[in-house]
Amino acid sequence: MPDFLMQILSEDMFKVLPTIPKELFETLYSTVLSTLFAYIIGLPLGIVLVVGEKNGILQLPQWLMSIINFLVNILRSVPFLILMIIVLPLSRMIVGTQIGTVASLFPLVIAAAPFVARMVESSLREIDKGVIEAAQAMGCSPWEIITKVMLPESRPSLISGATIALTTILGYGAMAGAIGGGGLGKVAINYGLYRFQFDVMIFAVILLVILVQIFQSIGTWLAVRCDKRITKTKKGR
């Protein structure tokens, strides 16, 4: 390595570099897995928030809808670090520890699921009501309207929302490094901030920014590919 880099970089930087592949894998692992479980919970919840409302295609009791909205709003309002501190004892009960990447998965899912639910709700509300009314006039059941009309029609918006959710969860995972989480967040906080080794912190942040750019580029490409309005315009030309 050139001498000028040896002078610029700290000793901690040379200690951290061999661990970067492992920390990068843990960041990707926790982000993707948390997003997956958040959507397993948040996607049905977001659908219920739309179809179960008054005058919805599958109207639910208003007291139940009020409770669901209240819980979603409460969980979204709590800052992630505070929520993680509250939920970590549950992580200890479930996985046997409250330190590390695996322990951070549970609070990440709890924090992200309400966010995902609102993103899904917003995407479904963009659908032209005339399309849904036409499906109802044809005698489609609520399940058929959800699976064959609402979800396909809102696919580009859902993919864009998933991209935002993925990058948001990546940021949550990085913050988890402050209270025992693993990955690049741990490197930036424990080895960079707490030890005043800013080269380590900047290096970890650059890697996080690169990951966000990759996720965003892939998500935007998929959303554009799925958008019938854009593809039709291109074909028309």
Do 184 and 174 meet the contact criterion of CB atoms below 8 Å apart?
yes
Do 113 and 104 meet the contact criterion of CB atoms below 8 Å apart?
no
Tokens matching residue 149: 């009309």
Tokens matching residue 103: 């322990």
Instruction: Measure the CA–CA gap between 56 and 221, rounded to whole angstroms.
Output: 32
Query: For the whole model, what pTM was predicted?
Result: 0.83
Instruction: Tell me what the mean pLDDT of segment 173-199 comes to.
Output: 75
Question: How many CA atoms within 13 Å lie on the side-chain side of 161?
Answer: 25
Per DSSP, the three-state class of 219 is helix
pLDDT of residue 159: 92
DSSP 79: -
- pLDDT by residue (tens digit) across 109-130? 888 999 999 999 999 998 888 8
Continuous H helices in 52-154: 62-77, 80-95, 101-125, 129-137, 142-145, 151-153
Q: What domains are defined for the chain?
A: 3-231 (1.10.3720.10)
Please give the backbone phi and psi of residue 58, each rounded to the nearest 5 degrees, phi first. -140, 65
Q: Would the pLDDT of 1 be above 80?
A: no
Q: What is the DSSP string of 14-75?
A: HHHGGGHHHHHHHHHHHHHHHHHHHHHHHHHHHHHHHHTSTTSTT---HHHHHHHHHHHHHH
Q: Would the pLDDT of 103 be above 90?
A: no
Average pLDDT score over the chain: 82
